[in-house]
Amino acid sequence: MILLSARAGEESAIEGLEAGADDYLVKPFSARELLARVRTHLEMAKARRAWAIELEAANKDLEAFSSSVSHDLRGPLRAIDGFSHIVMEDYSAELPEEAKQLLTMVSGSARQMNQLIDDLLRLSRLGRQRLSRKQISLSRLVHTVLQELQRQQSERQLTIQVTDLPDCMGDESLLKQVFVNLLSNAFKYTRRKENASVEVGCRQEDGEMLYFVRDNGAGFDMQQAQKLFGVFQRLHRSDEFEGTGVGLSIAHRIIQRHGGRIWAEAEVDKGAIFYFTLG
C-alpha cells in the first residue's frame, strides 16, 4: 500500500507509515515516480516470499536433522551408560579399583554428552519456538526453580535471598529456563565457598526494570566477559567446574527474543552478578 497525500512533512510521513503504509508520496507526484515505487515494492514482496519459502524449507530440514541427532546419538549413549552400570554392579568384586574409576568416568562422560545434546537441541529450537506471552508471577517462578535445585543438592549449605519480584509479561517456560540456567550457575560456582550465598532481586533503573542473580562464588576476569554468551565458551576449566558451555547462550537467546538485554559483572574469587531486562 502506497499512501498518496497532500500532507507534507516528516511527521505526516511517519504517521502514514505507522498506520501500515509501505510507502508515502506527497502530492503533486509524477506517474513515473509512482510506477517506479510500485515496481520496487513488488520486487521486494517477491523477494520476501521467496525468502520465506526458503526459510520454511530450511527450518524443516533443521527440525529433521535435530530429530535425527537426538535419536541417533541418544541410543548409543544410553547403551554406554547402561552397560557401564551393569559391569559395575555385576562384576564389582572382580574389578580392580582403577577399572572401577575408569568405568565411572565412562558413565559420567556419557551423561555429559547427553546433557550437551539436550542443550544444543534446546538452543536450535529457540529461534523457531513461538513466544507465548502472558502475565507471569516471577516470584513464584523463581521459588519453584530454587526448590527444584535445592532438592538436587540437598547437602549444600547455601544462604539464599529472594526479593519480591514484580509480575511481568513473557513466555513462562522460556523465562523459567533463564532462571534455571542462571541459578544453576550460581549454585555450581559457589560450591567451594564455605559461606556460599545467592541472591535474586530487581531494581528500577533509567525507566526499566533490571533483574539480577548474584553469587559470591568463583567469579571471572571481566576481560573475558565478551565470551560469556557464546556457544561452547567456558571461562573455567572442565576439571574445576562441570558444564557444556551452552547454558548462558540459551539464556541470552531467550532474553533477546523478549526484546531485552543480558550482561554480567564479576571479580575473580568474589562472585558474579548477571543482569537482564525484558522488553
Cell representation of residue 124:
536450535
- Would the pLDDT of 274 be above 70? yes
pLDDT mean over 118-130: 71
Predicted confidence at residue 239, as pLDDT, reads: 55
For residue 158, the model assigns a pLDDT of: 86
Fold of 133-276: Heat Shock Protein 90 (3.30.565)
Question: How distant, in Å, are the alpha carbons of 115, 135, 234, 235 from that of 244?
Answer: 7, 32, 8, 12
**Average pLDDT score over residue span 127-148:** 87
Is residue 183 within 8 Å of 200, Cβ to Cβ? yes
Give the pLDDT of residue 265: 93
Rounded CA-CA distance 24/20 in Å is 10
Strand 159-162 relative to strand 197-205: parallel, antiparallel, unpaired? parallel
Report yes or no: 262 and 230 within 8 Å, Cβ to Cβ: no
**Distance in angstroms (rounded) separating the CA atoms of residues 38 and 23:** 9
Helix (H, G, I), strand (E, B) or coil at 102: helix
What amino acid occupies position 171? D
**Residue-level pLDDT at 194:** 85
Q: How confident is the model at residue 260 (pLDDT cuts 50, 70, 90)?
A: very high
Question: So what's the pLDDT on residue 263?
Answer: 94
Element spanning 199, H or E: strand 197-205
Lowest mean pLDDT among 139-143, 148-152, 194-198: 148-152
d(CA 222, CA 230): 15
- Please give the residue that has the higher pLDDT: either 225 or 236: 225
What is the residue-averaged pLDDT of the chain?
A: 84
Inform me whether the pLDDT recorded for 2 exceeds 80. yes
Q: Tell me, what's the pLDDT at 209? A: 93
Residues 6+ apart with CB under 8 A from 91: none
- Supply the pLDDT for residue 128: 65
- 201 grid coordinates: 532481586
Q: What is the pLDDT of residues 175-234, one digit of tens each?
A: 998 999 999 999 988 988 888 999 999 999 888 899 999 999 888 888 887 888 877 666
Confidence of residue 240 (pLDDT cuts 50, 70, 90): low
Q: Which of 188, 179, 178 is nearest to 235 (CA)?
A: 188
**Strand partners of residue 25:** 4
Which cell is 73 given? Answer: 546419538
Contact 87, 103 (CB under 8 A): yes
**Amino acid 221: pLDDT:** 86
Which residues of the chain are in CATH 3.30.565.10 domains?
133-276
Residues 11-59 have pLDDT tens digits of 877 887 788 888 888 888 888 888 888 888 888 888 888 877 876 776 6
What is the reported pLDDT for 146? 93
